[in-house]
Structure 1
Amino acid sequence: MELAKIAERAVEAATAAGAGDAEAYVQDSVGREIRVFDGEVESLTDAGQRGLGVRCWIDHRSGYAYGTDLTEDGLRDIAASAVEAARVADPDEF
């Protein structure tokens, strides 16, 4: 699933779970580090990071959750965790 669709589905899942409003941030990155000393490769490291953050609001309370399971079930779980965090949060005074 493409990143924009993942974010869209996560926001839909959060509002379906009870959020009044929600936003999502999706990250998918790959990094490579190569260390060379005296003309020789000392180390080569490839690393990838893929995850989703969901922030939502319910009655002036905000909640946030992050996860790396970007399946449909994973999106629902992350969104539900953000909604639960908002439900138990103190109201924002502003």
Structure 2
Amino acid sequence: TDLEEAHALKSLVDYYGSQTKAAKRLGIPQNTISSKLSLLKLAPELQKDLVTGARKVEHVRNLGKLSAEEQRAKADERAEAARKKAETESRR
């Protein structure tokens, strides 16, 4: 899962000493690592939702700096926007 990948990347960042060094070693952009690590800052409820598939990564990415309540509200808002967009596109 994305959350498991985030935990693995965290271990590598700790091992190599920085996101930049880990990214270089893995051959991936540093911002990819940063984005994945942001999942570790999510409220436990949202992390669980990721694991169970109740939420998509794109709905919760970069919400870790918000309070747990704000994270849920913003994730719900993003999910609803994605649902409406998909619904609109399916009508075309």
TM-score by length of 2: 0.36
Q: Which has the higher contact order (CA 8 A, sep 6+)?
A: 1
Task: Give 1 or 2: higher strand fraction.
Answer: 1
